Structures are given as structure tokens and as C-alpha cells.
Amino acid sequence: MARLFITPREMNFINDIAKEVIKDVIGQKIYLFQISAIKSKVHDVYEESPDKVFESPIELDCLVKYNEQEIRTNRFGSEEYYTIEAYVQSRDLLDKGIEILEGDFFSYGNTFFEVIKSPLTNTIFGQIEHKRFVTISGRQSRKDQFLSKVFGPTSEEYLDDNAIQETFVQQRGFKENKLGPTGDVRDLQKNGVLEAPITGPKEISPKGDDTSAGSSFYSDK
């Protein structure tokens, strides 16, 4: 598409729409554990770190493709094996100063994955400097490879209080919502093209249902 018609303003609109769909509608998240370059000791000769130290997890809004489970057989029997792809909006990563590298780990549910690649996916209308998503490909890690506390919802088969997510709160370009800081940036709002939503972030929660049947749309208005 010609640059005559697709200007930085249109790019901001496209990126803001992608953020709106992922953050304000879909609501899927992964938790990223990055290797600490400062805390991890690197071997002088091999330039590798045998004992990696990881930073605190970063919550990332994304679109998740959970691939079909594989069954692998080894000398100890059979085991379940998962691979996963997570699509993270590239402008969102730039806004937050996050770079995802091979060897990082992330969790989705109660499963941990190692990042095996994280390429940028496609350009926006052929403009080389504007990318759509970063596609994080992960393979399930071994239990002796990475271990951490589990974050976020896991499965309805568990009885933990947070096993099922009952509350979802939008971000809508606000620095904070009821759950805390968001780090969310909507460029059209930032540049004064659009005003911030008057009603603020909305939520789905038990507050929206007075019949105790489950979470529903809630508005304090």
C-alpha cells in the first residue's frame, strides 16, 4: 500500500485497534521469565551461563494458539508434550521496552515453555519499519529445566481460588485500572487525536451478577 495513503496516523490507528482487540476483548495472557544478564554468571570461555537467574515475571497480553497435545514415549514410559504459539503486538513490546529472546521462558496455565524462536511477523501494508506481531514459539520445558510459582488461571479441575479467572478488566489506554498499572499506550490518545474513553475500563466480574450464577458485565454506573 502506498505511503501516500498509509501515514503514521493510519499506523497508529491500526496498532491501537490491534491492542484493543487483544487487551479489551480477548484477554489472554502469558507470563514471561527473562534471563537476567546482570545476575547470571557467564563462562569466560564458552560464553554460556550454566546457572541462569531469571527476572520477575512480566505479564504480556497476547493471542494464544495452543497446539494439539503430543504423546511421547521414552524408556520411562509415555509423557504428554505441548507446543504453543503466542502472538504479541509488536508496538506494545516497544512501548514497554521488552525484547523476547531465545532461551527465555514463559507460562500459560500451569505449563512452562522455553522460547525457541520469536520472529517479527509480517509488515503492515509492506512498510518495513512497521511490524504486526512478534510470534513466540515455545516448547514445553522439563521440570528440572525451569520451575517457578504458577501465575494466572490454570484449570477448572483445581480448587485454588485463582484456578478460574472470574474477573476481566479492560485497559483502554489508561495507565492504571482496578487491577493496577497497565503500561498500556494508545497512540491516538497520546497524540491528542482521540480523547480517552469517558467511561473508563469496563470489567467482567461477579459484581455484574446478582443471581450468583457467575461473572457478568459490571458497571458502577
The verdict on residue 174 lying in a domain is yes
Sign of CA dihedral 9, 10, 12, 17: positive
Domain residue limits at 119: 8-160
Mean per-residue pLDDT for 95-109?
95
- C-alpha cell at position 112: 512452562
DSSP string, 86-149: EEEEHHHHHHHT----TT-EEEETTEEEEEEE--EEEEETTEEEEEEEEEEEEEEPPTTT----
pLDDT tens column, 9-47: 999 999 999 999 999 999 999 999 998 866 656 555 545
Residues 57 and 142 in one domain: yes
**pLDDT > 90 fraction of the chain, expressed in percent and rounded:** 66
Task: Please state the domain count of the chain.
Answer: 2
pLDDT tens column, 191-218: 999 999 999 999 998 887 667 666 776 6
Identify the DSSP state of 35: B
Q: How far apart are CA 174 and CA 131, in angstroms?
A: 23
Residues 155 and 171 in one domain: no
CB 34 within 8 A of CB 57: no
Q: How far apart are CA 98 and CA 201, in angstroms?
A: 24
Residues 35 and 114 in one domain: yes
Please report which helix (H) or strand (E) contains residue 59, including its range: strand 58-66
CB 134 within 8 A of CB 119: yes
The verdict on residue 3 lying in a domain is no
Residues 133 and 44 in one domain: yes
pLDDT at 136: 97
**In Å, how far from its chain's centre is CA 66?**
14
CB 106 within 8 A of CB 136: yes
Residues 172 and 141 in one domain: no
Using CA atoms of 127, 129, 131, 134 in order, give the dihedral in degrees to the nearest 10: 150
**In Å, how far from its chain's centre is CA 96?**
12
pLDDT tens column, 57-90: 999 999 999 888 888 777 777 777 889 999 999 9
